[in-house]
Structure 1
Amino acid sequence: MKKIAVVTDSNSGITQEEAQKMGIHVLPMPFTIDGNEYFEGINLTQEEFYEKLKGDADIATSQPSPHAILKLWDELLKEYDEIVQIPMSSGLSGSCQTAAALAADYEDRVFVVNNHRISVTQRRSVDTALAMVKDGKSGQEIKDFLEETGKNSSIYITVATLKYLKKGGRLTPAVAAIGTMLRLKPVLTIQGEKLDSCAKARTMHQAKQLMIDHIREDIETRFGGVAAHKVHMDIAHTNNEVEALKFRDEVEAAFPGYQVGFVDPLSLSVSCHIGDGALALAITEITE
C-alpha cells in the first residue's frame, strides 16, 4: 500500500498544532499588512489580525509561493510515495491553479484537488482524504472522488458590518450607506466557486433564521431529504466565538437529531473581506 501525505492550507481552519495531531501538513496563507509579510498561524494570530483589521491597516491576501510549495513537496516525497493537496476553492484564490501547474512536473506523485471548498467544508474534505488513505485508496482515486463530490456543500454567512464589503468593492458606497442606515445584514453564500449575496436581513436574529432556512432547503432539495447521519453541519465565525457557540445551540434546536460538528474561526482570507462579528453555517453531504 502506498504511503500518501495529505496537504491543505490554513484556509481550512486547521491550525499547525491540529495538523500535527492529524498527521497532515498545512501551508500557511500569506498576508501583506502595511507592507510587511505575515503567515497565518506562524507569525500572525487571529487576535493580531483582527487588531490590524480594526485599525484600518492596509491588508492584502496572497497565496503560498511556488518555492514554499515545492520545498514542502520535495521534503515529503523523501518519506511518502504520493501527495494529495487540497487547496481552497479555485474560484476564491489562484493557489489551486498555481499548485496544479507545479504538479505537472510531479506526474503520478502529486495530486492537486480542485475541491471547490473553503473553511469548515474544506476541513471536511481533509477528513475524507485521510479516511480514504486509511482505506488504501490511491492519490488519483482520492483526487477524483473529492472533485466529484466537492460541490456537495454550502456555507451561509451573515456579516456584522458592511464596512469591509464596501472597502473590497463588493458593495458600492451608495448601497453600503443605505444598508448601514437601514441596518441591513446581508446573508452571503459560498457554493463552489464564488462568494455571492443570497438574502438580506434587518437583524442578526433574522439573518441567523435565514441561514437555518437555507440549510433546511438544502437538506430537503439539493440533498434529497437526507438523514442526520448523511450530512455534516458546522459553524464558523470571525472573532465571534461566544455568539457562534450560542448559534450552535440554536441550529441543533432547529434540526432535532442533527448535530453541529466544528465551531471554527473562518479563514482569514475570507475574514478580511467581511470583518469581525460574522457568523457562518455550513452543510456538507457525506458521500461514499
Structure 2
Amino acid sequence: MLHIITDSTSDITQVQAAREDLIVVPLHNLFGVEEYLDGVTISTEEFYQRLATAEDLPTSSQPSPEEFLTHFNRCKEEGSSAVVITISSRLSGTFQSACIAKDMCEYDEIYLVDSFTATLGLNSLVQYAKILRERGLSAKQIAEELEDKKQKVRVFALVDTLKYLKKGGRLSASAALAGTLLNIKPIIEVKDGVVEVAAKSRGIQGAYKKVMELVEEANGIDMEFPYCIGYTGDINLTQNFDVHSKEYLKKQDITKVAIGSTIGVHVGPGACGIGFFSN
C-alpha cells in the first residue's frame, strides 16, 4: 500500500482525506491559551468566526514529530510506503517535525517532500501526487517527480481587507489607513517558499484582473496538472472572482477550496486566489 500524507495547510479536510485515501496531519491553532487541532477540533468556518472577534491574532504551531511518527510506524508495521508532502519549511517547522519522525521510525520507505509552497499550491501538489499514485508509480518515483515539478507551482491571492495585515504587523497603521482610503487591494503570492506581496491594485474588480495578469506573467496555467481556486470565509463573497476565473479558464467545474488558518490569519475573510502549475 502507498500512503500520501500531508498537513492541514493543504486545506484538504478530514472528510475529503477519508474519501480520497489521504492522511492529513493537523497543525495547532492557538487563540490565547485555547489550543485547537486545525480541521479536527476547529473547522475552517469556526476559525473565521473566532478570528472576526479576536482582539489578538491567533497563532499556529507545527505538529510534533510524534504526530507524524504514529503514521510512519503504521507504514512500517504494514510494510507499506508513504510520500509526505508538507508546507514550505520557510513558513513552518512542519517539515522538520516530519524529518525527525522519519529518523525516529528508522524506515526507508518514507519519502519526504518540502513543497516550498502552501495552501492552494500544496493542495495542487497533493492532488498531483494522487494522480501519480493512480498511475502506479512507486513512492520513490512520486517523490522524485514532485521534487522536479514543485518549482512550477504558483499561488496568487487578492486581499479584500487590510485589517489583518495591520494586526499581524505586516502593514503599518498609517499604510493600512491610506490603503483603505484609496481602496487598495494587495495581491500576495507564495514565492521561493515564503509569502510576499506581488502587486497592488485599486478596487476589487481591478484586483481580479491583476491576479489573472500575474498568472499570465507566470507563463499561464499548465492544464495538464491540477489547479484550484480558493477563498477565505464566506464563499458567497468571492462569486465575482469565481465568474472571472471561469471566463479566463474556460471551464465550469473548477475545484473550490476553503483556505484555512495558515494564510487566512494574515488576510482575513473575503480573500480569494488561485493555485496552479505554470507552463
Structure 1 length normalisation: TM-score? 0.88
Q: Matches of residues 185-204 of structure 1 in structure 2 within 5 Å?
A: 185-204=185-204
Question: Which runs of 4 or more aligned residues in structure 1 lie more than 4 Å from their structure 2 counterparts after TM superposition?
Answer: none
Cross-structure match for 1:30: 28
The structure-2 alpha-carbon separation of the partners of 1:213 and 1:285, relative to structure 1 and needing over 3 Å to count, comes to closer
Following superposition, the deviation at residue 233 of structure 1 comes to 3.8
Alignment check: 8 A CA contact 1:232 1:260 kept:
no
Pairs within 5 Å for 1:128-167:
128-167=128-167
| Structure 1 residue aligned with 2:260 | 267
Secondary structure at 2:120's aligned position in 1?
helix
Q: Aligned partners of 2:66 and 2:75: how far apart in 1?
A: 14
CA shift, 1:80, in A, is: 4.4
CA 1:49–1:121 in structure 2 vs 1: closer, same or farther (change >3 Å)?
same
The alpha-carbon deviation at position 167 of structure 1 amounts to 1.7
Aligned-pair Cα RMSD in Å: 2.0
Per the alignment, in what secondary structure is the counterpart of residue 74 of structure 2?
A: helix
Does residue 98 (structure 1) correspond to residue 97 (structure 2)? The answer is: yes
After TM superposition, the structure 1 = structure 2 runs for residues 218-257 of structure 1, keeping only pairs within 5 Å, are 218-219=218-219, 229-256=223-250
Instruction: Report the CA distance between 1:218 and its aligned residue.
Output: 2.0
Q: Which residue in 1 is equivalent to 2:177? A: 177
**Amino acid of the structure 2 residue aligned with 1:45:** S
1:213 corresponds in structure 2 to 213
| Alpha-carbon distance between aligned partners in 2 of 1:216 and 1:37, rounded to the nearest angstrom | 41
Distance (Å, rounded) in 2 between the aligned partners of 1:10 and 1:204: 29
Q: CA deviation at 1:117?
A: 2.3
Deviation track 1:195-216 (CA, whole Å, cap 9, x = no partner) reads 1111111211111110011112
2:39 equivalent in structure 1: 41
Q: Is the 8 A contact 2:72 2:101 kept in 1?
A: no
The one-character-per-residue Cα deviations of 1:35-59 (angstroms, maximum 9, x if unpaired) are 1110122110122211211112441
What amino acid maps onto 2:25 in structure 1?
A: L
% same residue: 27
Secondary structure in 2 aligned to 1:61? strand
- Deviation, 1:149, is 0.8
Tell me the distance in 2 between the aligned counterparts of 1:233 and 1:127: 9
Secondary structure of the structure 2 residue equivalent to 1:14: coil
Looking at structure 1, the residues matched to 134 and 275 of structure 2 have their Cα atoms a distance apart, in angstroms, of 26
Q: TM-score, normalised by structure 2?
A: 0.91
| 2:66 matches 1:72 | no
Name the aligned partner's letter for residue 202 of structure 2: R
Moved more, 131-140 or 67-76: 131-140
- Determine the C-alpha separation between the residues in 2 that align with 1:285 and 1:160: 25
Query: Counterpart of 1:111?
Result: 111
Distance in 2 between the 1:81 and 1:166 partners? 47
Q: Is the 8 A contact 1:4 1:80 kept in 2?
A: no
Q: 1:6 to 1:231 in 2, by over 3 A?
A: closer
CA distance in 2, matches of 1:146, 1:34: 37
User: SS at 2:207's partner residue?
Assistant: helix
Structure 1 283/129 Cα, relative in aligned 2: closer, same or farther at 3 Å?
closer
